[in-house]
Amino acid sequence: MTDKIITGKFPFARMRRTRRHDWSRELSAETRLSAADLIWPIFIHDESHDMDIESMTGVQRVSINTLLKLAEQAVALGIPAIALFPSEDDSLKDENGTQAANPENLVCRAVQAVKQRFPELGIICDVALDPYTSHGQDGILVDGYVSNDVTIEMLIKQAIVQAQAGCDVVAPSDMMDGRVGAIRGALDAEGLVDTQIMSYAAKYNSAFYGPFRGAVGSAPSTVSRSGGKASYQMDPANSNEALREVAMDIEEGADSVIVKPGLPYLDILQRVKDTFGVPTYVYQVSGEYAMLNAAAEKGWLDLDRVMMESLMGMKRAGADGIWTYFAPVAAEKLNG
């Protein structure tokens, strides 16, 4: 039985002709995702064992030894870069996060170990004080308020020790004003002119970071509008402000920018990419990862499909690359 021939003034387009076969869907796909689009965030700690992170299925805090195995896996899978997040012992935390600037801290030792074995793998280090401060803020408190300029002094030191340890990219996630320019200037003054800056330019004050704070063991942000992360991270209500943030960071010397979180902010991602055309990355954050896994564990979502669909959505919206905890699993699938 054939479809009835509908006669009318115009032959209408049969969009479904192209969708009918695998080969023509393949040929007409507008967006391609590959392992080369992924950045793999990894949590490390200064222990010899690995520890499951309860809220993030399949993700662990790992030892430097295990990190080396994951780095090897990244290289084998064609994942271009990993990003390191340290979980520091409470005994190393203080009010000012001074451990961040210690050239022998966990992150620096991890960078050195990975670079020595896998020099071709990109390494990204987070620049922010939250893993190191006893209060869990990304910056230094002066009279209970995160001081912009005092914080920047420490961020500069942190970025320098990370770059000296051999990391390829420093990624300031602290949202202090003027830090990109300050870090660029300081790196250049140290002769570290080839260290890239991937700035978290549009980072929102999001509840989707919940599981991450557990993973690195940083204190939860307070809800208070003056003292909490809302005093430096962006208000989810804003979009034009994101463009201004990005413009400033590019002006100050950022090589690339990040929009974070991912799925609730695809509109921002698209505007940023369309407006500036610079390398633009998006971070599928811990809460997004946890959410998809939790629903899948209940049998309510097909994890493979929602994982790929969410990543594809971000690529389609304009991401040049995606930070995601799904990186190794997605890369394996993409490599077929």
Q: Which is nearer to ligand PBG, 80 or 214 (CB)?
A: 214
Rounded to 5°, the CA angle 61-64-70 comes to 75
In degrees rounded to 5, what are phi and psi of residue 267? -65, -40
Catalytic residue among 203, 229, 273, 315: 203
Catalytic residue among 229, 260, 273, 315: 260
Q: Which is nearer to ligand PBG, 209 or 281 (CB)?
A: 209
Q: Which two tokens stand for residue 85?
A: 């997040």
| Minimum CB–partner distance for residue 180 and ligand PBG (Å) | 15
Site string for ligand PBG, 238-277 (x = CB under 6 A): ----------------------------------------
- Closest among 101, 81, 45 to 215, alpha carbons compared: 45
Token pair 């003054």: residue: 189
What's the rounded Cα separation, in Å, for the pair 87 and 99? Answer: 12
Q: CA dist 124 to 23, 169, 243, 305, Å?
A: 38, 5, 24, 28
| Minimum CB–partner distance for residue 6 and ligand PBG (Å) | 51
* 162 scored as a contact of ligand PBG (CB under 6 A): no
What's the rounded Cα separation, in Å, for the pair 206 and 286? Answer: 11
Token pair 């899978």: residue: 77
Interface with ligand PBG in residues 57-96 (CB under 6 A): none
| Minimum CB–partner distance for residue 95 and ligand PBG (Å) | 17
**Catalytic status, residue 260:** yes
CB of 147 closer than 8 Å to CB of 164: no
- Closest among 237, 102, 206 to 160, alpha carbons compared: 102
Q: Which two tokens stand for residue 187?
A: 């790196």
What's the rounded Cα separation, in Å, for the pair 31 and 78? Answer: 19
Q: How many CB atoms lie within 10 A of CB 335?
A: 11
Q: Which is nearer to ligand PBG, 126 or 252 (CB)?
A: 126
Contacts of 167 (CB under 8 A, 6+ apart): 84, 111, 115, 123, 124, 125, 195
Interface with ligand PBG in residues 127-156 (CB under 6 A): 128, 130, 138
| Minimum CB–partner distance for residue 302 and ligand PBG (Å) | 23
Interface with ligand PBG in residues 110-129 (CB under 6 A): 126, 128
Interface with ligand PBG in residues 279-308 (CB under 6 A): 285-286
Number of residues located near ligand PBG, criterion CB under 6 A: 11
What's the rounded Cα separation, in Å, for the pair 195 and 166? Answer: 9
**Catalytic status, residue 69:** no
Interface with ligand PBG in residues 190-219 (CB under 6 A): 209, 212-213
Q: Which is nearer to ligand PBG, 63 or 173 (CB)?
A: 173
Residues catalogued as catalytic: 203, 260
Residues near ligand PBG (CB under 6 A) are 126, 128, 130, 138, 173, 209, 212-213, 229, 285-286
